């Protein structure tokens, strides 16, 4: 309800689950799952975090967070899992050639305290209308519907707060869409998820969206391979092995594979 809302913390204090094999496996499954990116992010946040803000982490809690907060938490989780990652590969939007981009996710996650309004009002051509600043729930709805070619119109539909928001979204003119987009953008938490650089192939400026889901999280196959290796060597149960820290587990797997020869070498 316009006027009846309170400002929210963009970057709430959060605590991750213990960094053991169980968490890694749950995160790996979330990343590998079928479904839209927003759905995978929801699962990832529910798996990786113990608490977000004052709440215990869950799919429902992750869905209720603003899109900016979710991206920031994904970056924080990426840092916790792979603090060693300092580059990733992107494709030039001008010439299409791949390039390596140095990346400091750790710095990106160091953000100042920020409050934002979860609801904005806009004077549109059909009257004053209120819109939610997108949360995970809106992202999931939007990704599922995909009815509009124009993402601004699509988001105006799912984020609109009137009773017939879907119909109204079709009535907004170009100027309305610009105003709605700007109002939502201005109120959204600011997250450093874009990198701009000069392409080494064509020399043009190019920008890319940093998506930690693509490179920063454990892979199911790696966790399972190390688990299998330790199980066959020591006879421990999967549960016991998954309670080891990732560091401990990988170290043991490395020692065992070294004893057994190259065919058993673990990846990464």
**Region near Zn ion per CB under 5 A, out of 15-23, 95-103, 128-136, 245-253:** 95-103
Contact status, residue 66 vs residue 189, Cβ threshold 8 Å: yes
Instruction: Tell the smallest beta-carbon distance from residue 216 to Zn ion (Å).
Output: 24
**Region near Zn ion per CB under 5 A, out of 23-31, 94-102, 148-156, 224-232:** 94-102
By beta-carbon proximity to Zn ion, the closer residue of 92 and 103 is 92
92 touching Zn ion, by CB under 5 A = yes
142 CB-contact burial (10 Å; exposed 0-12 / middle 13-18 / buried 19+)? buried
198 touching Zn ion, by CB under 5 A = no
For every residue of 111-150, DSSP letters joined together read ----EE-SEEEEEETTEEEEEEPPBHHHHHHHHHH---SS
199 touching Zn ion, by CB under 5 A = yes
Contact status, residue 154 vs residue 82, Cβ threshold 8 Å: no
200 touching Zn ion, by CB under 5 A = no
Question: What's the angle, vertex CA 131, arms to CA 139 and CA 45, rounded to 5?
Answer: 30
94 touching Zn ion, by CB under 5 A = yes
240 touching Zn ion, by CB under 5 A = no
By beta-carbon proximity to Zn ion, the closer residue of 18 and 203 is 203
| Chain contacts with Zn ion (rule: CB under 5 A) | 92, 94-95, 199, 201-202
């Amino acid at each position: 309800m316009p006027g009846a809302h309170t400002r929210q913390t963009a970057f709430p204090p959060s605590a991750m689950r213990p960094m053991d094999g169980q968490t890694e496996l749950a995160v790996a499954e979330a990343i590998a799952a079928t479904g839209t990116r927003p759905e995978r992010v929801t699962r990832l946040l529910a798996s990786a975090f113990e608490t977000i803000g004052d709440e215990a982490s869950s799919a429902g809690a992750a869905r209720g967070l603003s899109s900016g907060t979710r991206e920031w938490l994904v970056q924080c989780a990426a840092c916790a899992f792979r603090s060693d990652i300092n580059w990733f590969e992107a494709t030039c939007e001008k010439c299409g050639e791949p390039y390596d981009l140095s990346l400091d996710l750790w710095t990106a996650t160091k953000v100042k305290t920020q409050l934002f309004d979860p609801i904005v009002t806009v004077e549109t051509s059909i009257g004053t209308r209120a819109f939610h600043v997108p949360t995970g729930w809106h992202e999931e709805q939007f990704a599922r519907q995909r009815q509009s070619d124009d993402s601004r119109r699509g988001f105006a539909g799912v984020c609109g707060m009137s009773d017939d928001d879907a119909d109204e979204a079709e009535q907004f003119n170009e100027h309305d869409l610009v105003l709605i987009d700007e109002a939502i953008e201005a109120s959204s938490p600011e997250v450093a998820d874009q990198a701009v650089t000069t392409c080494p192939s064509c020399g043009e400026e190019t920008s890319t969206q940093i998506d930690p889901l693509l490179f920063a999280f454990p892979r199911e196959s790696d966790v399972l391979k190390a688990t299998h290796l330790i199980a066959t060597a020591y006879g421990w149960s999967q549960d016991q092995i998954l309670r080891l820290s990732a560091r401990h587990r990988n170290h043991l797997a490395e020692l065992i594979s070294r004893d057994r020869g190259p065919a058993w070498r673990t990846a990464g």
